[in-house]
Structure 1
Amino acid sequence: MPSEKISLTHFSLSLSAPHHDFQVFAFAGYEAISQPFCFMLDLVSEHTSMDLESLLGQPAFLQFAPDSGGIHGLIDQIAQGDSGQRLTHYSITLRPHLARLEHCTDQRIFQELTVPQIIERVLEKHGLLATTFNFHLGTNYPKRDYCVQYGESDLHFIQRLCEEEGLHYHFEHSPTAHKLVFGDDQTVFPELEPVIYRQDTALAGTEPVIQHYKLRLETRPNSNVRRDYHFEKPLLDTKGSANVNRRIELEEYDYPGGFTSNDRGDHLAQRALERLNHDYLSGEGRSNQARLVSGHFLRLSEHPNKEWNDLWLLTEV
């Protein structure tokens, strides 16, 4: 949900590095569930020379909401631009620690570990302590006899494991840190304060409103079927399936499904169907509310279509 105009007169950037006088001139950003966020900031400073290398990788907090709401990340990119009579232009990009994992590839074998345990080992390899990430899971995951990372980045490896098991992640921000939160259902997502719908943009700047909102339906499979072969039980019909009732019937079939019990097959089929249908019904809007954060529920209110006045999960901002 893009923000048309945030009704604030001041944004601020906090850095642990001393002796900086950066002022935020403008910023744009993107964040979504199960993706590393990216925020690009245009800054100005009275200093015509900065040690850019010393700032690269430093933690920073961009505050853009009056209640200390904002984005905490690491400086992933920094550049110096033109200098005027008094001010020099700089630009930085903030991304999470997790984004660094896309620059590291490996070839590893993991044995007798669950997917959450494998992810934890990869994160710890990059210095992410247990205090910087959480698993809020409602399902017990089986140990994998043999799991291989082969020539893929550590970030892609984690993304692949999450997709296979139906895990998702989002970030929680504070002025001093950002936390990576993994989940497998919607109970992990907190709820934001309700926002009213007002198509009349004259209210923009006086109170947070949703100014535009539209609903979209897309064609997606309504059934997922997967099969596998159990060499110790060759006569067993090893199958998993999941479906939802829809007027248009479309099936995705997968073999081998990567399981040896039908219960496990049903679980994987259900997660695959949920992944395929995550955008079957979606809404898109525009707001001046600065506190919209992906991975949070938002209640829409006072829309003329009363069926739309409900909780909506913010998947992308």
Structure 2
Amino acid sequence: MFEDKQMPITLNLTGSPMDLRVLSFTGHDALNEPYRFDVDLISSNPHLDMDSLTGTAAWLAFGVEHAGVHGLVDGARQLYAGTCLSLYRISLAPSLLNLEQARQRRVFTGLSVPQLIIQLLENHGLNQDSYRFEQPVGVYPPRDWCVQYDETDLHLLQRLCEEEGIHFRFEHSPTGHQLIFADDPASFPERQSAIRLQRDESTDNQPAIGYLSERLTMHAGTDTHDPVWHRCRSSDARSLTTAQSDAQGATNQPFDTGTDTSRPGDEEAHHRQTSARTLERLRCERRHIRGWSSHCALTSGQIIQVLGHPVTLFNDQWLLVKVRHWGKQPQVLEGCDPHDMAGILGAAVTAAHEQQAPWIVQLSRLPELETFEHGYRTGFCVLPWAMTFRPSCTHRKPGVRGGQQVTLMADAAEFGRSGNAWRAPVRYDWQIAPSSPEDHTCWALADLPDLAEVSVSELAAGDRLLVRHFDSDPDKPVICGVLAHRTAARVAESPETAILLNGIHLEKAPANIHLNSMDDLLFEAREDLRLSTAKATFELSSAGITITGPRTVTLQPCLLPEVAPARSPNTLRWEDDLRLTEHPGLQGAPLANRIWYIVFMSIPGLAHLPRLEPRHFLYEGRTDERGYLGLTCAQMRELSARYCRSPKHLCLVHPDRCITLQDYFAQNWSEQRLRAFMEQD
């Protein structure tokens, strides 16, 4: 780290001996968003290994009062290589950005939103010291189910916070940063000293606000986004009008307070809370107040007191919602080679024109922020502290197009009711096998009297169904058809028979079981087993296997040798190999004749492929006509050992796609299959 009394902006990289001096930086932080700071640094060494800095903790200090930002190096690159000086750019981001690695499809059941958020954070290694929840004031009942459909964990976390009106922010110190969740406006910290409005900077060297005003605009009259599916409640069914018993009575009837004085339940309280917070969100979206300051300790989530504004209305307490930071210290280039100086400044200007969010662009157009050349500036958006802050719903729920194949998890007699429709528990084909039938189960509406010539009352556990989604909402599945019901196999029910479908234990033998090419069916029975279809019967007993139909076949049991012959290390069964298909869950057409690689990546993602060295490429090949990679048994054993050591850093790469093996196994393999893979010798 370079230190100089004339250079208050410094960068401290933990454990790094590199001599890097800060030329300038830009950054933004906002409520309910991960922050990002891009720092331009100069060094006399044009051959620094910037890739080695990825994931390094850093502290960017930019002023007095211990102001600064702590983060992890999310990216590092060289912008200009000169003879005497070179320019580098390092990007700092929070550990929360780990949740943006890959898109997933999952179903969560029986969890409240705070519980869901904690599970998402802990799945990515964020321990309890890296986040905290302020004392909540709202009601968050468990959701029957919550579907994550082709969205990252970060997108899901932000969407849930926006739906429930929960905000999050960050607190920084030289040793770390902490993520803070809250729903109470009183939880925002307040600055102890007020900040005065001062338009003439030459009169005083103290940090001040140079501009603060409100922009008035026209807004849309309606809000088409409904973040929460409000299910039918008994109170909604009450009639809005009542017949008058006395036709001659006055129209101003006395107010009837009602006889129900009991406290509302969690569901009713949550419904009222959602309505109130939606109104608070709409109020926040209709205020556009912005300004700039030379104060270096302003961050989103702070409450500041403004004094000295000519408009009395603005001499109030304000909540910082969005903050844009600029820092420049061109004095570090004094005495440098003019050619290098011109190249460095030109490269910095070119890199600064990268795509930015609209609110950042609007703040950048303030006159003072466009022209200043030295020091520190902050552009910000604020709201009155008296106005309750609720985040805008900018992270929309992904839509589901087309039909989805599911498996029914219960008989029709166990269906629930939702208004006038039935609710049937189903499990999508792209879900991993849960430990019990209740885990990861979604409830689909079955409100049609006849489904592909099969009535709702005839549906049984194990049936294969087709669902679509109302309004393309993944949380609103509706059963619209039964697949291959007439060709189902009939199972003889026996109390001694255990049936596992895709690893799920069925409590009772269903009347019908529908299987596709990728389903696994396991029977465990102490007695003889008998399966029957419309044209054939399959019997398994200690005497052998008998298949009765147009042609009867009987197979007698044979004695196996004590030692099974060893299998060649160059042969591998198809079901043991990895396979590529169009959609997760091994669904869709196979990706045949496609080049693939299994690589080691410290940070997964296609954007980081150019940084890999030859030693990072572990296996490569081309898929066959069925989409299988063609790994040998020896390669699978070696891959198993590598995966046990670093499950989050092994990636499967093929054209336009990069997925970690951890995510691949979660989407395509059952827990039993993954456990067998990891326990290989």
Assess, with a 3 A threshold, how the Cα gap between structure 1 residues 269 and 237 changes in structure 2: closer, same or farther.
Answer: farther
Q: Given that residues 230 and 238 in structure 1 are in contact (C-alpha distance below 8 angstroms), is that contact kept between their aligned partners in structure 2?
A: no
Q: Residue 35 of structure 1: SS of its match in structure 2?
A: coil
Distance (Å, rounded) in 1 between the aligned partners of 2:93 and 2:229: 40
Give the Å deviation of 1:227: 8.7
Q: Deviations over 1:245-290 (max 9, x none)?
A: xxxxxxxxxxxxxx99443222111111222221323421111111
Q: How does 1:32-71 map to 2 (within 5 A)?
A: 32-71=30-69
* Amino acid across the alignment from 2:171: E
Aligned to 1:194: 194
Higher RCO (CA-CA < 8 Å; seq separation 6+)? 1
- C-alpha contact 2:8 2:63 (8 A) present in aligned 1: no
Q: Identity rate of aligned residues, in percent?
A: 36
- Within the candidate set 288, 309, 313, 1:307 is matched to 313
Is the CA contact 1:221–1:276 (under 8 Å) kept in the aligned structure 2?
no
Task: Give the AA of the match of 2:290.
Answer: E
2:81 counterpart residue number: 83
**Matches of 2:20 and 2:137, distance apart in 1:** 44
Q: Which amino acid aligns with 1:208?
A: P
Tell me by how many angstroms 1:175 deviates: 0.7
Question: Structure 2: which 5+ residue stretches go unaligned?
Answer: 1-5, 241-264, 324-681
Counterpart-to-counterpart distance in 1, 2:305 and 2:288:
14
Aligned to 2:670: none
Contact 2:72 2:92 in 1 (8 A): yes
Tell me, in whole angstroms, the C-alpha distance in 2 between the residues paired with 1:166 and 1:235: 23
Q: Relative to 1, partners in 2 of residues 1:41 and 1:237: Cα closer, same or farther, differing over 3 Å?
A: farther
TM-score, normalisation: structure 2: 0.40
Relative to structure 1, the CA distance from residue 289 to residue 260 in structure 2 (aligned partners, 3 Å threshold; closer, same or farther) is: closer
Does residue 108 in structure 1 map to residue 106 in structure 2?
A: yes
Q: 1:303: Cα distance to partner? A: 1.2
Q: Distance in 2 between the 1:9 and 1:53 partners?
A: 27
Q: Deviations along 1:224-255, whole A, 9 cap, x unmatched?
A: 99994537x4973499xxxxxxxxxxxxxxxx
**Counterpart of 1:236?**
237
Amino acid at match of 1:236: A
Q: Distance in 1 between matches of 2:297 and 2:65?
A: 9
For 1:128-167, list aligned pairs within 5 A: 128-136=126-134, 137-167=136-166
Distance change >3 Å, CA 285–CA 107, structure 1 → 2: same
Q: For residue 274 of structure 1, what is the aligned residue in structure 2?
A: 280
Alignment RMSD? 2.6
* Aligned equivalent of 1:316: 322
Deviations 1:172-201 (A, max 9, x none): 111111111111121121012311011223
Q: Distance in 1 between matches of 2:270 and 2:289?
A: 33
Say which one has the larger Rg.
Answer: 2
More strand by percentage: 1
Q: 1:271 to 1:105 in 2, by over 3 A?
A: same
Shift of 1:81: 2.9
The CA distance in 2 between the partners of 1:152 and 1:33, in whole Å, is 21
Q: Is contact 1:57-1:74 (8 Å) kept?
A: yes
Q: What's the secondary structure of 1:50's corresponding residue?
A: coil
Would you identify which runs of 4 or more consecutive aligned residues in structure 1 move more than 4 Å? Answer: 218-229
One-letter identity of the residue aligned with 1:315: V
Tell me the residue number matched to 1:288. 294
Q: Using structure 1 for the length normalisation, give the TM-score.
A: 0.83
Cα distance change on mapping 1:238 and 1:151 into 2, 3 Å:
farther
Number of residue-to-residue matches in the alignment: 289
Residue 119 of structure 1: CA displacement?
0.5
**Residues 30-58 of structure 1: per-residue CA shift (max 9 Å, x gap):** 11111111111100122222222210121
Residue range with higher mean Cα deviation, 45-54 or 11-20: 45-54
Report which stretch shifted further, 121-130 or 275-284: 275-284
